[in-house]
Homo-oligomer: A and B are copies of this chain.
């Protein structure tokens, strides 16, 4: 066996499942204009401890995938961002594939994709992409990065939480929380739905909506935060 000099960077054998999920989470935090993610948020996202997050961030830093100053939020390096975008591409293509070929509903694909994204080969991803005709949105309305890492930049969307009264089209629905997805699906809301945002009642945190067909509803603010809209006059 060839002795390995301790100072030599790790052989970059491949990137672990945990590392892949971290990179994706760090990237996702800023996808819709949010601030760089904190250790606390990462710990909550993965149901683990702050100590474990520090440890994992240290390993990712050693691999040159993230940059991190103590007590500051975490950022991706160029290499880290490349890997992150590749994972997002896999995740969203897999979701699209499951809906199209296996009849998954758009509120159940996320968990399955969360596992499969770490197991599919590049070859398989490109075949899925070709079979689906190179889609540019996943079932939740999220843009699918191209194989070269470029992202189709979607029309500027506003969060329902920040939307002033008026007519909108739902362009994306965050797939983070399955319970919220089921709630929204129950309201008939999906990417492409047309809605009218009403005037907020100061005494309540929920947001009044009117649907195309005249139906009325009121969404709690956590569900509203999952909806992204573009104005439709």
Binding site for B on A (CB under 8 A): 98, 101-104, 111-112, 115-116, 118-121, 123-124, 127-128, 131
A115 proximity list for chain B (CB < 8 A): 119-121
The residue in chain B whose Cβ has the minimal distance to the Cβ of A119 is: B119
Contact status of A103 and B127, CB under 8 A, knowing A119-B116, A119-B119: yes
Q: What 20 new A-B contacts, CB under 8 Å, besides A102-B131, A112-B121?
A: A98-B124, A101-B101, A101-B131, A102-B124, A102-B127, A102-B128, A103-B127, A104-B127, A111-B121, A112-B120, A112-B123, A112-B124, A115-B119, A115-B120, A115-B121, A116-B116, A116-B119, A116-B120, A118-B119, A119-B119
A127 proximity list for chain B (CB < 8 A): 102-104
Number of copies: 2
Complex A-B: 22 CB contacts under 8 Å? A98-B124, A101-B101, A101-B131, A102-B124, A102-B127, A102-B128, A102-B131, A103-B127, A104-B127, A111-B121, A112-B120, A112-B121, A112-B123, A112-B124, A115-B119, A115-B120, A115-B121, A116-B116, A116-B119, A116-B120, A118-B119, A119-B119
Output the least CB separation between A122 and chain B (Å).
Answer: 11
How far apart are the CA atoms of A202 and B131 in the complex, in Å? 51
How far apart are the CA atoms of A111 and B128 in the complex, in Å? 17
